[in-house]
Amino acid sequence: MYEKIKLTYKYHDLEPYIDKLTVKTHYEKHLQSYVNNLNTILKDYEEFTKGKTIEDILGDIDNIPKEITQGVINQGGGVSNHNFYFSILHPKSKGKQKPEGKLMEVIIRDFGSFEKMKTQLSNASISQFGSGWGWLVLDENGKLQIIKTMNQDSPLSLNKKPLLAIDVWEHAYYLKYKNLRNEYVKNLWKIINWSKIEEIYESYNK
Ligand SMILES: [Fe+2]
Q: Write the DSSP string, 68-103.
A: HHHHIIIIIHHHHHHHHHHHTB--GGGS-SS--HHH
Give 92-125 pLDDT, tens digit per residue: 988 899 999 999 999 999 999 999 999 999 999 9
Give 11-37 pLDDT, tens digit per residue: 999 999 999 999 999 999 999 999 999
pLDDT at 94: 83
Query: Counting runs of H as helices and runs of E as strands, what totals does the chain give?
Result: 11, 3
Give 40-84 pLDDT, tens digit per residue: 999 999 999 999 999 999 999 999 999 999 999 999 999 999 999
Query: Could you list which residues have their CB under 5 Å from ion ligand 1?
Result: 167, 169, 172
Burial (CB < 10 A; 0-12, 13-18, 19+), residue 136, is buried
Q: Give the distance (Å) from ligand 1 centre to CA of residue 62.
A: 25
Quick one: which H or E segment has residue 132?
strand 132-138
pLDDT at 45: 96
Q: Give the distance (Å) from ligand 1 centre to CA of residue 164.
A: 14
Q: Give the distance (Å) from ligand 1 centre to CA of residue 89.
A: 13
pLDDT at 93: 84
pLDDT at 131: 98
Q: Give the distance (Å) from ligand 1 centre to CA of residue 103.
A: 26
Burial (CB < 10 A; 0-12, 13-18, 19+), residue 4, is middle
Residues with Cβ < 8 Å from 151, sequence gap 6 or more?
74, 77, 131, 132
pLDDT at 95: 84
Residues with Cβ < 8 Å from 183, sequence gap 6 or more?
177
Q: Give the distance (Å) from ligand 1 centre to CA of residue 22.
A: 10
89 strand-pairing partners? 192
Quick one: which H or E segment has residue 161?
strand 161-167
Mean pLDDT rounded to a whole number for the chain:
97
Per-residue pLDDT at 163 exceeds 90? yes
Bridge pairing between strands 132-138 and 161-167:
antiparallel
pLDDT at 80: 98
pLDDT at 118: 98
Coil, helix or strand for 196?
A: helix
List the domains of the chain with CATH numbers: 18-87 (1.10.287.990), 92-204 (3.55.40.20)
Which of 64, 35, 68 lies closest to 48, judged by CA? Answer: 64
Give 122-148 pLDDT, tens digit per residue: 999 999 999 999 999 999 999 999 999
Q: Give the distance (Å) from ligand 1 centre to CA of residue 169.
A: 6
Average pLDDT over residues 176-202: 97
